[in-house]
Amino acid sequence: MPDPTPGESVASEPGPRIAAFFDVDNTIIRGASAFHLARGLFERGFFRPRDILWAAVMNARYQLFGENTEQIDEIRSSALSIMTGHSVAEVVAIGEEVYDQVMELRIFPGTRALLDEHLAAGHQVWLVTATPVEIGEVIARRLGATGCVGTVAEHRGGFYTGRLVGDLLHGKAKASAVRALAERDGIDLAASYAYGDSANDVAVLSSVGHACAINPDKRLRRHARAAGWPIRDVRGRRRAATRHGLRTASWAGVAWVAGLALRQVRRRLQG
């Protein structure tokens, strides 16, 4: 099967089981899904105003400059400390609400159409993300995907401990998880597909026969061109904005969240 190009449907083929593996942040959903969840948790009193301000800064950096290992480790440590002691059921319920209220509106139609084409072709569709697996599974269910492979936060008695089970699902760890899943489910990786937006997705993109860069950062774009992978940009008209405009919009978002945090502080002091 040739690599898909914009507007081309994905045809099903007889033979070994085929899957499509999708990154989530900036591939399916605009921005960082963990930030949207953090906002939802903040609004429900899970943590302090300075935590949501920090998350807003991380989200702005992510959208402006892409992801890097140091940033992801920083996010992981903070997120785990925030979740410690909270129940899994409560977090999943909030994740469902946040998806319906926020994330669904930020789904890229072009990626959603591509995902639906794979499902229609009878392929398995898996989300592969560093986001906590419980939240990734919420997104997968809403999209009708087969399932999600995500970061596993340890929980005991239904409550998060603040530790991970295994590694953060990122970079090479994503590729290892995909290979393990393929072995378990009898998926032919050479006939399968993968989609990602970051140079940190290169390992998982390289593990399949049909890789495609979606909304790629500069490093992934260069790698995709060198490797001959298709490149898609599904961001629509927003893609035409200048880099200055993107910076202004993102940091305006940080300022808005900072204002929200300050209002919360003021209300508590007045109370």
Average pLDDT on 22-26 reads 94
User: Band of the pLDDT at 85, cuts 50, 70, 90?
Assistant: confident
Provide the CATH number for the domain around residue 171: 3.40.50.1000
Which structural domain, as residue segments, surrounds residue 134? 19-270
Edge-to-edge strands, sheet with 147-151: 147-151, 124-132, 19-22, 193-196, 210-214, 231-232
| pLDDT of 81 higher than 80 | no
Average pLDDT on 161-188 reads 88
- The single residue of 25, 51, 197, 201 carrying the catalytic annotation is 25
Q: What's the count of helices (H) and strands (E) in the chain, helices before strands?
A: 10, 8
d(CA 207, CA 187): 12
d(CA 144, CA 116): 8
Total number of domains constituting the chain: 1
Q: What is the pLDDT of residue 152?
A: 85
| pLDDT of 8 higher than 60 | no
Q: What is the pLDDT of residue 107?
A: 95
Q: What is the pLDDT of residue 252?
A: 38
Amino acid at 244: H
- Asked about 233 being catalytic, the answer comes back as no
With a CB cutoff of 8 Å and minimum separation 6, the contacts of 92 are: 134, 135, 138
Within a domain: residue 5? no
Average pLDDT on 78-84 reads 64
- Asked about 23 being catalytic, the answer comes back as yes
Which tokens is 30 given? 């605009």
Contact of 191 with 15, CB cutoff 8 Å: yes
Contact of 199 with 219, CB cutoff 8 Å: yes
User: Band of the pLDDT at 167, cuts 50, 70, 90?
Assistant: confident
With a CB cutoff of 8 Å and minimum separation 6, the contacts of 56 are: 35, 253, 254, 257, 258
Average pLDDT on 74-98 reads 75
**Burial state string for 215-249 with b = 16 or more CB within 10 A and e = fewer than 16:** bbbeebbebbeeeebbebebeeeeeeeeeeeeeee
Average pLDDT on 227-253 reads 61
Q: What is the pLDDT of residue 73?
A: 54
| pLDDT of 86 higher than 50 | yes
Within a domain: residue 47? yes
Q: What is the pLDDT of residues 173-182, one digit of tens each?
A: 999 999 999 9
The packing angle between helices 243-270 and 49-65, to 10°, is 180
Average pLDDT on 160-187 reads 88
Q: What is the pLDDT of residues 87-128, one digit of tens each?
A: 889 888 988 998 998 899 999 999 999 999 999 999 999 999
Could you give the 3-state DSSP secondary structure of residue 19?
Answer: strand
d(CA 77, CA 171): 17
CA 247 to chain centre: 21
Within a domain: residue 84? yes
- The single residue of 23, 197, 201, 217 carrying the catalytic annotation is 23
Lowest-pLDDT range of 31-40, 79-88, 195-204, 212-221: 79-88
